[in-house]
Amino acid sequence: MSDRVFEHAVRDWLEDGSDRTPRHAIEGVLLAIKTTPQQRSLRIPWRYPTMNPIARLAAVAAVATVAIAGSLYLFGRSPGNVGGPPTPGPTTLPTPTPAMAGPILAGTYAGPTLQVADIIAMVNTDSRLTAADRSQIIDVLFAIRGKQTWTDSLEFRGGLLFERQTVDGVTAVGSSGRYAFPDDHTLVYTETRNGVDLPNPWRLDLTIEGNTFTLHRSAPVANPADDFVTRVIFESGPFTLR
């Protein structure tokens, strides 16, 4: 029995199945941490219980240096220095430049709050969707059954895009990945999962008005469920800078 045959069989068996975390499990955790305090340590961090002789000598030397320098400053000034050095005149601090993400400011842009009842009505009247599609959208992809409100937001930060969905006040990341603006009218969003780029990046038409923008998918999506979900996520704008 060769090692390769065994290793191949083990790899096949071990990598079988999906690692996608159920959305409701994540929502449960995010709800739990709202009422779960973090454990704050009261002891001073990085304080060594014992010092080695070299560290102790270095500490003594540092204290002595500070003491000598302070003495010289306080008692060694000449009479001509009374009052200290002249105070510099008022200066204008440079205004920090807002970070840009392509043609828009970096930051979080929120879409309008939608009523879940309206989304479900849209799902139920979309004739292209099967019963299984409808259940998947309502119960899994958006997880909105029995909920009231839904809002989408997009955060652009350091080349990364986080798409979050807030359902009845609980926010969870729907997807994340890298973004690029090939020009001022196009956003390309490459979704990543487990650090791996997913194929077929989203190409979206971008219309900017001040601190607000709208998105439209450049091409239709073949799968009806994916088409519905991405239409709601990307085209429910305008997205406004928070």
Distance (Å, rounded) from C-alpha 233 to C-alpha 111? 9
Does residue number 41 form part of the binding site for other proteins (CB under 8 A)? yes
Does residue number 28 form part of the binding site for other proteins (CB under 8 A)? yes
> Which residue's CB is nearer to other proteins, number 134 or number 164?
164
Does residue number 9 form part of the binding site for other proteins (CB under 8 A)? yes
Binding test (CB under 8 A) with other proteins, winner from 4, 14, 49, 86: 14
Residue with tokens 């309008």: 112
Distance (Å, rounded) from C-alpha 166 to C-alpha 234? 14
Q: Total residues at the site for other proteins (CB under 8 A)?
A: 39
Residue 107: strand pairing partners: 156
Does residue number 172 form part of the binding site for other proteins (CB under 8 A)? yes
Segment interacting with other proteins (CB under 8 A) among 17-25, 62-70, 76-84, 210-218: 17-25
> Which residue's CB is nearer to other proteins, number 20 or number 76?
20
Does residue number 25 form part of the binding site for other proteins (CB under 8 A)? yes
Does residue number 4 form part of the binding site for other proteins (CB under 8 A)? no
Distance (Å, rounded) from C-alpha 138 to C-alpha 167? 12
Binding test (CB under 8 A) with other proteins, winner from 90, 182, 193, 226: 193
Q: Residue 32 CB, nearest distance to other proteins (Å)?
A: 5
Residues 62-91 contacting other proteins, CB under 8 A = none
Give the dihedral sign, CA 193/195/199/200.
positive
Does residue number 176 form part of the binding site for other proteins (CB under 8 A)? yes
Q: Residue 191 CB, nearest distance to other proteins (Å)?
A: 12
Mention every residue, 6+ apart, whose C-beta is less than 8 A from residue 222: none
Binding test (CB under 8 A) with other proteins, winner from 114, 139, 162, 186: 162
> Which residue's CB is nearer to other proteins, number 33 or number 82?
33
Binding test (CB under 8 A) with other proteins, winner from 61, 63, 121, 173: 173
Residue with tokens 């970070």: 99
Q: Contact positions toward other proteins, by CB under 8 A?
A: 1, 6, 9-17, 19-22, 25-26, 28-30, 32-34, 36-41, 45-46, 162, 164, 171-173, 176, 193-194
